[in-house]
């Protein structure tokens, strides 16, 4: 049987970083509430010339440079912070990367679940024709109102994945446990740049989706709980993954203390919530960690408010470590430019009306930038 999964993956983030210790000091909150209570240290914040397109293209660039575009006939772009109501953000990325015209390019949305929807659709395409490869890009900017409980869980980042037959990083196994329910836990109305959220409901909806997806996974012959070596969860903040593991342990009666490695938190603690990319940033961190994961099975839980959950598994391929890019993500995180609280609050307030031509200042050091608006159309350019 053809194995299909993640052949390569890369992560990009935004130009700026906000330290949660600064946010706590300004809000008069004990910094331990964010560091320990939420499990977050900092969040990435975009410069005015960055968005989901520039981060997504930056994440995909090293993959296209390494593998070329041959056989890539589909680009799936998952986001819930898209830049246009009609045109796929993927088409901007397609142009910026100089990909061939003989491709289908689509944007997918279901809150933070979109990245997994794209991955599973990609697997379907490759299973029909194993000579094809699919470029999946999950990219998001998480924004909440200033001074709201959600503010310390903001973030920004993108993960790009090449999905192919006989993958070199992680084979995705065929069984998935699914759960969908209509819940008003978190959403973003069309006229708002920030999400509306019922925090307590969002956490209980996440945990309900987890147990319901687990039951469906078990009913469809998925791996037993004792056959799963590690877990990686969607991480709106890393403490949520701890809550998820605890709930799964209670639900299955298994002692799961060893399976959630701190390693899955390393990038998310620094990025903040990257919505559709968050689970995949957790997987990237796990693979980049010190543990030898060859032939290990990872349980994966993807959740998108509203609400859809999917529980599935991946098996890490022998030799995966030769595909990784050692130091790439820590370097990108370290290169971010800190924002003081006043600068951050001023940037947070910036909104670009779409009916006024605009030239954005050159700030980002990323390979692509949002150059502005011309006749209501978004303009992007390569920086180097």
Binding site for ligand HMG (CB under 6 A): 30, 32-33, 36-38, 80, 111-112, 149-150, 153, 186, 197, 199, 202-203, 206, 234, 236-237, 239-240, 273, 275, 303-305
- Cβ at position 230, least distance to ligand HMG in Å: 20
Annotation-wise, does 129 bind a ligand?
no
Read off φ and ψ for residue 103, nearest 5 degrees: -145, 155
Check 80, 171, 270, 310 and give the catalytic one.
80
Q: Is residue 293 a contact partner of residue 287, using CB atoms and an 8 Å limit?
A: yes
Q: Which residue lies nearest ligand HMG, judged by its C-beta?
A: 37
Check 112, 151, 173, 348 and give the catalytic one.
112
Tell me if residue 80 is catalytic.
yes
Which residue from 275, 313, 312 is spatially nearest to 115, judged by alpha carbons?
A: 275
- Cβ at position 335, least distance to ligand HMG in Å: 25
Check 94, 234, 310, 348 and give the catalytic one.
234
Of residues 168 and 239, the one with the C-beta less far from ligand HMG: 239
Tell me if residue 234 is catalytic.
yes
Q: Identify the burial level of 109 via C-beta atoms within 10 angstroms of its C-beta, where 0-12 means exposed, 13-18 middle and 19 or more buried.
A: middle
In whole angstroms, what separates CA 328 from the centre of its chain? 17
* Pairing status of strand 297-304 against strand 230-233: parallel
- Cβ at position 47, least distance to ligand HMG in Å: 23
Annotation-wise, does 190 bind a ligand?
no
- Cβ at position 81, least distance to ligand HMG in Å: 9
Tell me if residue 132 is catalytic.
no
Annotation-wise, does 144 bind a ligand?
yes
Annotated binding site for (3S)-3-hydroxy-3-methylglutaryl-CoA: 30, 144, 243, 273
Task: Please give the positions annotated as active site.
Answer: 80, 112, 234
Annotated binding site: 30, 144, 243, 273
């Amino acid at each position: 049987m053809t194995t299909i999964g993640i052949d390569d993956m890369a992560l990009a983030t935004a130009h700026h970083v906000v330290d949660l210790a600064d946010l706590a000091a300004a809000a008069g909150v004990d910094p331990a509430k964010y560091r320990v209570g939420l499990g977050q240290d900092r969040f990435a914040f975009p410069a005015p010339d960055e968005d989901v397109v520039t981060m997504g293209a930056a994440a995909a660039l090293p993959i296209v440079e390494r593998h070329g575009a041959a056989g890539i006939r589909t680009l799936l772009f998952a986001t819930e912070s898209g830049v246009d109501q009609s045109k796929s953000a993927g088409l901007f990325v397609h142009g910026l990367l100089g990909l061939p015209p003989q491709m289908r390019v689509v944007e997918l949305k279901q809150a933070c679940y979109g990245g997994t929807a794209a991955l599973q659709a990609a697997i379907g395409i490759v299973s029909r024709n194993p000579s094809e490869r699919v470029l999946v890009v999950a990219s998001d900017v998480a924004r909440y109102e200033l001074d709201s409980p959600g503010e310390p869980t903001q973030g920004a980042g993108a993960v790009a994945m090449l999905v192919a037959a006989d993958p070199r990083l992680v084979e995705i196994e065929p069984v998935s446990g699914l759960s969908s329910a209509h819940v008003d836990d978190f959403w973003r109305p069309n006229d708002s740049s920030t999400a509306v959220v019922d925090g307590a409901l969002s956490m209980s909806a996440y945990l309900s989706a987890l147990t319901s997806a687990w039951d469906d996974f078990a009913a469809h012959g998925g791996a037993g709980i004792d056959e799963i070596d590690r877990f990686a969860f969607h991480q709106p903040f890393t403490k949520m993954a701890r809550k998820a593991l605890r709930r799964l342990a209670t639900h299955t009666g298994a002692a799961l203390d060893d399976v959630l490695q701190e390693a899955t938190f390393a990038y998310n603690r620094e990025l903040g919530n990257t919505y559709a990319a968050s689970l995949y940033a957790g997987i990237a961190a796990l693979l980049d960690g010190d543990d030898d994961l060859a032939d290990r099975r990872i349980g994966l839980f993807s959740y998108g408010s509203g609400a859809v959950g999917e529980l599935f598994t991946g098996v890490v391929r022998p030799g995966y470590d030769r595909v990784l890019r050692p130091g790439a993500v820590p370097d990108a995180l370290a290169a971010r430019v800190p924002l003081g609280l006043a600068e951050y609050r001023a940037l947070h307030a910036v909104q670009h009306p779409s009916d006024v031509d605009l030239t954005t200042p050159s700030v980002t050091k990323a390979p692509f930038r949002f150059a502005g608006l011309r006749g209501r159309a978004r303009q992007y350019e390569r920086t180097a």
